[in-house]
Amino acid sequence: MGKQNIYIRTKNLLDESRGEEGQALRNYFNVPDEDDDEVWNEVIDTKGGSNYPLCNIDDAIKVLQEAKEKGCNFVHIFAHEDHGEINFEGYLIEKLTDEEVAEYKAELQKKELERQQRVLDREKAEFERLKNKFG
């Protein structure tokens, strides 16, 4: 059996961020935000702190549950190192029906024909310009 293409539709249904730099640990240990950051960072370092943003597991589960409730069946979870957050992006990914694939291919073909027509029109215009110039 030959290779079969599978066409899918992707909808982004969730875009959440959790855990500003050190905030997950601050919340977990009830450390006030106004505490001196240098002291807090020393505490993190002596306890084997991570160089990556952290997210409390319960918060992550809440975000994942929210994604599921919104209809997501896949998530992309990544650390946004510039902002010190964990980002959650939830997606609904579905296989297209045969009719949708046919519509998609027809639209692609239409766009390609339109592109080719524009190229042909430019070539014709250039031909006419040169014909008039050299006669």
Distance between CA atoms of 84 and 15, rounded to whole angstroms? 16
**Residue range(s) defining the domain that contains residue 119:** 97-135
Same domain, 23 and 74: yes
Query: What pLDDT does residue 61 have?
Result: 93
Same domain, 33 and 43: yes
Contact 67, 88 (CB under 8 A): yes
Same domain, 114 and 51: no
Output the six-digit token pair for 86: 């964990």
Same domain, 80 and 101: no
Q: Please give the average per-residue pLDDT across 43-70, as a whole number.
A: 75
Same domain, 90 and 80: yes
Q: Which residue has the higher pLDDT, 64 or 11?
A: 64
Same domain, 63 and 129: no
- Alpha helices in 47-97, H assignment, sequence order: 57-69
Q: How many structural domains compose the chain?
A: 2
Query: What pLDDT does residue 32 have?
Result: 67
Query: What pLDDT does residue 46 have?
Result: 43
Same domain, 15 and 71: yes
Same domain, 111 and 77: no
Q: Which residue has the higher pLDDT, 24 or 55?
A: 55
Query: What pLDDT does residue 36 have?
Result: 52
Q: Would you call 67 exposed, middle or buried from its count of C-beta atoms within 10 A (0-12, 13-18, 19+)?
A: buried
Is 47's pLDDT higher than 50? no
Same domain, 82 and 43: yes
Q: Please give the average per-residue pLDDT across 86-108, as a whole number.
A: 91
Mean pLDDT of the chain, nearest integer: 80
Identify the weakest region by mean pLDDT among 22-26, 41-45, 74-78: 41-45
Q: Which residues contact 83 (CB under 8 A, 6 or more apart)?
A: 17, 20, 21
Same domain, 59 and 113: no
In a domain, residue 3? The reply is no
Same domain, 128 and 84: no
